[in-house]
Structure 1
Amino acid sequence: MIVYTVGTFDLLHVGHLALLEYCKTLGDKLIVGVASNEVVGSYKRNVPVIPLNQRMEMLKALSCVDSVVSYDKLEYVTNCKEQNIDIFVIGEDWGDKPHNIAVEKYLKAQGKKIMQVSYNPQTSSTKIKQNVIAQSHKGKYVAHIIE
C-alpha cells in the first residue's frame, strides 16, 4: 500500500513527525508531497521561511519517509496518479475547495481511500513563528525604565 500526504512542512516540528510516523503505519511506502512557495502563497498570507529544497531534504532524511515530491499547483490528482497512491491522508482543515473535491472524486472512482487526521494541538509552524516574533520584540521598544 502506498500512502500519500501533503503539506508545507515549514519549520519541521514534532507535530509533523507524529503525522508522518502515523502515515507510515498505514502502508508499505510513504510519499510526502511538499507545497511550493507559490502554492502556499495562494492560500496563506505568509510563504514558508525555509526554502522548498531544504524542506524536502529534511523530510527525505526521516526514516519514516520513503519519497518526497513537490507540487507547484494547488491540485492533488496529478501526484496521486503519478505515484499510484492507495491512501491519501488529509488534515482536519480539508474543506470543500474545488481542488479537494477533484481529488476526492478521482480517488473514489479508483477505489482508493482518503483518511482524515487531527492536527497535533501542541504545536504548529504558525505558533513557532509567533513565538519567535514575540521573543525578538521583547524589550525592543523600551529605551529605558524610569523608577
Structure 2
Amino acid sequence: MNSKRLQEKVLLDYVDNYKRNKKTIILAGGCFDLFHPGHLEYLQGAKKLGDILIVGINSDNSIQSIKGQPPLFSLEERVAILSSLECVDHLLVISELTLVQAVKTIQPHFFVKGIDYQGKVFPEQQAAKEIGTKIKLIGERKLYSSTQLKKSYER
C-alpha cells in the first residue's frame, strides 16, 4: 500500500508548491485509534473545504500521554488506514500533544476540529489566530467516541 506519510521537511516542500499554485490547504488531526464512521465524516468534511488535506496523526507515545494508555492499533496500522482514504492527501506524525507547532509550521488556510469542540478553548486557536488560519468545526454532532467504543468492548 502506498503510504501518504511524509517527513516534515518533505511535506513543507509540498506545502510551498501548493501555496505557489494557489491550492487551499486544510490541516486536521487526531489519534485515529479504533477508526470509526465519525472519523470518516470528519476527514471527508475537512477535505470539502479545499484542495489539499494534511492530517496530523498522533504517535504511539503521544497517545499514551494523552489517553493514559497505549493505542489499540500501532502508528503503522493507523497510517495504513488513513493512507487508504481518498480524501487524505498527506499524513504527518505528531509527537507533541497538540497540533500547535504543525499549525505554525504548515500555516494552512483552515484548521479543523470535530463539532465536539464547539464552545471549547483548544491550544491551536491562538496559533491559528496569529497567522490568519481559519478554524472550522466539522460535523453536526458527535456520534462516536473511540474511547467509549473501546470501553464497551472491554466489558
Q: TM-score range by the shorter chain?
A: 0.7 to 0.9
Q: Does 1:8 align with 2:31?
A: yes
Distance across 2 between alignment mates of 1:48 and 1:41: 7
**What amino acid maps onto 1:73 in structure 2?**
E
How far apart are 1:39 and its partner, in Å? 1.5
Structure having the higher Rg: 1
User: Is contact 2:104–2:131 with CA below 8 Å preserved after alignment?
Assistant: no
How far apart are 1:12 and its partner, in Å? 1.0
Distance across 1 between alignment mates of 2:112 and 2:82: 16
Distance across 1 between alignment mates of 2:102 and 2:110: 12
User: Is contact 1:15–1:122 with CA below 8 Å preserved after alignment?
Assistant: yes
User: Is contact 2:54–2:89 with CA below 8 Å preserved after alignment?
Assistant: yes
Name the count of aligned residue pairs: 130
1:6 alignment partner, SS class: strand
Counterpart for residue 58 of structure 2: 35
CA deviation profile, 1:96-139 (whole Å, cap 9, x unmatched) = 46xx0xx32222122111112357543221232123222xxxxx
CA deviation profile, 1:16-75 (whole Å, cap 9, x unmatched) = 101111001011111111111222222323221000121112101100111111111123
Q: Which runs of 4+ in 1 moved over 6 A?
A: none
Structure 1 residues not aligned, in runs of 5+: 135-147
TM-score when normalising by structure 2: 0.73
Judged with a 3 Å threshold, the aligned counterparts in structure 2 of structure 1 residues 123 and 67 are, in CA distance, closer, same or farther, namely same
TM-score when normalising by structure 1: 0.77
How far apart are 1:78 and its partner, in Å? 2.3
Q: How does 1:1-147 map to 2 (within 5 A)?
A: 1-91=24-114, 92-93=116-117, 95-96=120-121, 100=123, 103-118=124-139, 121-134=142-155
Structure 2 residues not aligned, in runs of 5+: 1-23
2:108 alignment partner, SS class: coil
